[in-house]
């Protein structure tokens, strides 16, 4: 039966110190992944969690219920499907950050920056908008939105340096940004607000939610979307793409 593995991704910025200890959450999540034959990676930090896993649809449903108990939240995840699991590992990691920026960020400053996929095309059509792709260069090369700026970074923590050298809050009044699933923008939009940029917008749910909700004929996306699993890229209908893996070629 094709497409019988469900891949889910989700994240949440929340104070995990108010929940159970991270070490206990890790043990419980690992046990649940083993019990329900779930593969993938979960990252835990005091600032929240980031989850990308796959399994048979029935098992995903059971795992989600178990994970919600350990994470003490309702998982609001994005789904796609594939004919086999795209992950090899069963891994739960405790890290300083769920997405590594290496900068202090007040996540609360993200309020008011989110733009729904339905409204995103209007943002892109604004001639005063400076559109920033906050992903890495090897991701950009597979596909991006029209007129997006490529910072040519190799890792997310390089992005503040690019902004410091190229953007000025006094000059660049409107900045919109996007990433794969939203997590990097969730951190970088408030970072930009903290630098004094007044009008900052981020694509809610990222590229994946945009491709899920916007009909192909209305999309302003060009190319394929790089993903961090065996599928490598997804096309405009969230099926496995055919693009090369530039992440393997960047050092060649």
Distance CA 192, CA 145 (A): 20
Tokens 């769920």 appear where?
Answer: 98
The two tokens of residue 23 are 């070490």
Distance CA 131, CA 179 (A): 11
The DSSP-derived string for 48-115 is EEEEEEEEEHHHHHHHHHHHHHHHTS----EEEEESS-S---EEEEE-S-SS---S---GGGGTT-EE
Closest C-alpha among 85, 84, 78 to residue 205: 78
Known active-site residue 185: no
12 within 8 A of 78, measured Cβ to Cβ:
no
Task: Tally the residues of the chain.
Answer: 252
User: Of 10, 179, 185, 225, which one is the catalytic site residue?
Assistant: 179
- φ/ψ (deg, to 5) at 63: -65, -40
Residues acting as catalytic residues: 179
């Amino acid at each position: 039966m094709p497409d019988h593995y469900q891949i889910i991704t989700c994240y949440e910025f929340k104070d995990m110190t108010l929940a159970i200890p991270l070490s206990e959450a890790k043990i419980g999540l690992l046990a649940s992944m083993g019990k329900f034959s779930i593969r993938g990676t979960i990252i835990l930090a005091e600032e929240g969690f980031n989850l990308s896993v796959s399994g048979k649809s029935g098992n995903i449903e059971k795992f989600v219920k178990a994970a919600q108990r350990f994470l003490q939240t309702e998982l609001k995840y994005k789904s796609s499907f594939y004919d086999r699991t795209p992950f090899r590992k069963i891994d739960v990691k405790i890290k300083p950050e769920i997405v590594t920026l290496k900068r202090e960020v007040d996540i609360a400053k993200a309020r008011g920056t989110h733009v729904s996929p339905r409204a995103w095309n209007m943002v892109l059509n604004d001639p005063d908008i400076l559109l920033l792709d906050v992903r890495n260069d090897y991701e950009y090369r597979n596909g991006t939105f029209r007129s997006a700026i490529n910072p040519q970074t190799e890792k997310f923590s390089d992005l503040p340096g690019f902004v410091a050298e190229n953007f000025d809050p006094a000059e660049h009044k409107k900045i919109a940004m996007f990433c794969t699933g939203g997590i990097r923008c969730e951190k970088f939009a408030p970072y930009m607000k903290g630098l004094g940029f007044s009008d900052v917008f981020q694509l809610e749910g990222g590229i994946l939610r945009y491709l899920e909700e916007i009909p192909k004929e209305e999309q302003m996306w060009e190319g394929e979307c790089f993903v961090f699993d065996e599928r490598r890229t997804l096309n405009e209908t969230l099926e496995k793409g055919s693009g090369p893996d530039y992440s393997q070629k960047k050092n060649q």
